Structure 1
Amino acid sequence: MNSQLKNIHPLSWTIIVGTIFGRMASSMSIPFLSIYLIKSLGASPSETGVVVAVSSLIGVFASFYGGYISDVIGRKRVLYISIFGWVLVFIGFGMANQVWLFFIMNALNGLCRALFEPTSRALLADITPQESKMLVFNLRYAAINLGVVIGPILGLQVGASESGLAFYFAGIVYLVYGLVLVFQFILHKEVGNAGHGAGERLTLKGAMQVTGRDRTFLYVLIGMIFCVLGYGHFSSTLAQYLEMTPGIQDGAKLFGYMLSLNAIVVLAVQFPVVKFAGRFSPIVPLLAGNLFVSGSLLLFGSVHAVWAFLVGVVIFTIGEVLMFTMTDVLVDRIAKPELRGTYFGVFGFINLGNVLAPLLGGFLLDALGAGSALLIFAIIALTTAFGVPFLLIANRHLSAAQPAELANGAEAKLS
């Protein structure tokens, strides 16, 4: 472990530490967006669903291009564009006073995330030795959740469900994060520049054809869309449900504590779960995680008591850890090295689940009402579980490919 920590590049540490503060700042405000729109602007659940969904919708189409252009023009330029763009976006959130303005700002928020996320993960993969990659990806995931432990509690303190102050704070944090990245890239000029491999030679259409022909990757991608669909209901449908249900007092406060509990549980179970899951094919944890998330959604709609919501968060979080801690390692394993950014970018299509979650949840809440919780959450649990067959097929493809990889490796050593 100590030797692996020493192998971590300073830029990787910058991204990991920056992720803590960036996610802390954004989770002070963005998770409360649904409640803020309903409570302060009088938006309907369907309108709120559209505003929340647009971020992921933009992300679905932009993340592939963001990953692709980072292979062509360099990681550094894409990171600069996205992180300083975020500064302007959060200031725009703070100044917005109409639903349509929040729609535009959240669309731009999705664009920045779609550029930054695949590019930063590809950069981590570029500058990290193979034996340290799982550690680095898991440190990044832990950093996300450490930020989310603190962010919602701070958001409650500044009244994020009623005020725009938290948005300005996020803008300042991302400005500092961006300036630190600029400084680090100046110190390490050899990192993050445009490469000279296949990423430059392939057109956008050609890159899509390469990833589209990768059957294992394609089945993982489809299965993960349904996983993310279930995951997306936590911050959209569940948040609205808690605010709309008369029997639940101060739903925003309860949801804030649930967000923090979610992050605390991630930090507590992440490394033990990853160590255990490492004994299996990387797709097996995704399968188990899907079932955990589906079960927790069913519990949210079945028992209307604070203890049940908290137990549901624990079950949901274990599923989340199983689903998301292995995905970066899995994509890096499947991807062709010269198209790593492209693969991470295409994997952004899993955010289609985040697009569908608020739309489906908002429609069900409008059509059936919060009083039909069991039916609503049973439907969304079932749609989440639709990912299981695709992940099973992907696991079969991956298992079939392993003997061929081992044979090729043995031949290379002999030659």
Structure 2
Amino acid sequence: MNKLKIYIGQFHTIVWVLLIGTVLSRGLAFMTLPFLSIYLSKHMDLSPIIIGLTVGMSPLMGTVGGFIGGHLSDRFGRKRVMLIALCSLAFVYYGFTIANSQGWFILLNALNGLCNSFFEPTSQALMADLTEKHNRMKAYSLRYTAINFGASVGPLFGAYLATTSAKVSFTLTGTTYLLYAFVLFFFMRKLIIPKVDPSVKKTVLIGDAFRIIKTDKALRFLILGGIIVNMGYVQMDSNLPQFLQGRLENGVVIFSILLTINAVMVVVLQMPISHFAERFKPMQAMVIGALLMAIGLFSCSFINGLGHSDHLDYIFNTGRDINFPFKQHGD
């Protein structure tokens, strides 16, 4: 018991609130968003192109928001940005329950990506602010575990709700984000976070990023390769669920199991595969990872049952762990 108290005492109370909130919010997000394409296909009768556009709006706006979020955090403070982002996420999910056209779904999912891009980096920065330097790596490791724990449990509940009442999952997720905001507000009322001195930290703007990419050829090709690889990976959230639903009788259940396997394998295989990949040059490891991902995606066209899906998901995620040995699931 004393060891447990000592371990808990290593981190600020707000850090633990953020970790618990990560488990709940990520778990519920994985209970809803991966099944959004199925919901749109089943209830809105939209074309695969429109569904892909809707699902893709979240990461697209997340990319744009990544440049804005840091600036807002420095200007208005971490607390304000985090609380506004969480409340906005709550209303985004409430909006999903009443949305009745493709335009609303596109707008809401775009706001979802934008708000997440504000909240996630700011919350990580707050964890760093409240954690002693020698414990920060441990705190981020706990956050990594929290993300994948939520990602492994959420899809199982999502499969049930996707076949019964998808709107209930949207409502639960929205309510969780709202409660998360209230709890954070309660614990952060008296917290004083020193503002960042603009002369010490320079905000990186979109123009700065493009200038760096223009002058660095290796970085330019690396980013291009990452875009191509991720175009394949995002099929897990857009085309694969529609494909499984249309081809297999229990496709929704199989899809949820694949997502759970995905999260569990990231946790289990991350360290051994990273250690194995150290034997190769970075470029060689990335090529092997990309090839394994390509084999896994290509082989999905031969899926005819749960057993085959399990094996293909193993190949796919092994390739992903080799290709992105330090990438957190869902980030």
Gaps of 5+ in 2: none
Q: Which residue of 1 aligns with 2:28?
A: 25
Distance 2:20 2:269 in 1: 20
Distance 1:269 1:144 in 2: 15
Instruction: Spell out, residue by residue over 1:65-120, the C-alpha distance to the aligned partner (whole angstroms, 9 max, x if none).
Output: 11333244333222122111101111111122222221221111111112122323
- 248-257 or 88-97, which moves further after superposition? 248-257
| CA spacing shift, 1:254–1:158, aligned 2, 3 Å | same
Give the number of aligned pairs.
326
Letter matched to residue 72 of structure 2 = I
8 Å contact kept, 1:33–1:161: no
Q: Which residue of 2 aligns with 1:395?
A: none
TM-score (norm 2): 0.83
TM-score (norm 1): 0.68
Distance 1:285 1:188 in 2: 44
8 Å contact kept, 1:142–1:266: no
1:239-278 mapped onto 2 (5 Å cutoff) = 239-245=241-247, 248-274=248-274
Distance 1:35 1:324 in 2: 27
Distance 1:296 1:115 in 2: 33
8 Å contact kept, 1:67–1:118: yes
Instruction: Spell out, residue by residue over 1:257-296, the C-alpha distance to the aligned partner (whole angstroms, 9 max, x if none).
Output: 2112222222333344456567888887655543432232
Letter matched to residue 187 of structure 2 = Q
8 Å contact kept, 2:86–2:181: yes
Q: Percent identity?
A: 32
8 Å contact kept, 2:67–2:205: no
Instruction: Spell out, residue by residue over 1:48-73, the C-alpha distance to the aligned partner (whole angstroms, 9 max, x if none).
Output: 11211122222222221113332443
Gaps of 5+ in 1: 329-350, 352-415
Q: Which residue of 1 aligns with 2:120?
A: 117
Distance 2:189 2:118 in 1: 21
| CA spacing shift, 1:90–1:283, aligned 2, 3 Å | farther
Distance 1:225 1:156 in 2: 29
Q: Which residue of 1 aligns with 2:234?
A: 232
Deviation for aligned residue 1:308: 2.0
Deviation for aligned residue 1:229: 2.0
Q: Which residue of 1 aligns with 2:320?
A: 320
Letter matched to residue 269 of structure 1 = L
| CA spacing shift, 1:239–1:261, aligned 2, 3 Å | same
8 Å contact kept, 1:262–1:317: yes
Q: Which residue of 2 aligns with 1:195?
A: 196
| CA spacing shift, 1:209–1:31, aligned 2, 3 Å | closer
Letter matched to residue 236 of structure 2 = F
Q: Which residue of 2 aligns with 1:15?
A: 18
8 Å contact kept, 1:36–1:160: no
8 Å contact kept, 2:35–2:162: no
CA-based RMSD of the aligned residues comes to 3.5
| CA spacing shift, 1:300–1:210, aligned 2, 3 Å | same
Distance 1:103 1:35 in 2: 15
- 9-18 or 119-128, which moves further after superposition? 119-128
Distance 1:203 1:8 in 2: 30
- 292-301 or 195-204, which moves further after superposition? 195-204
Distance 1:68 1:161 in 2: 42
Distance 1:158 1:47 in 2: 23
| CA spacing shift, 1:162–1:62, aligned 2, 3 Å | same
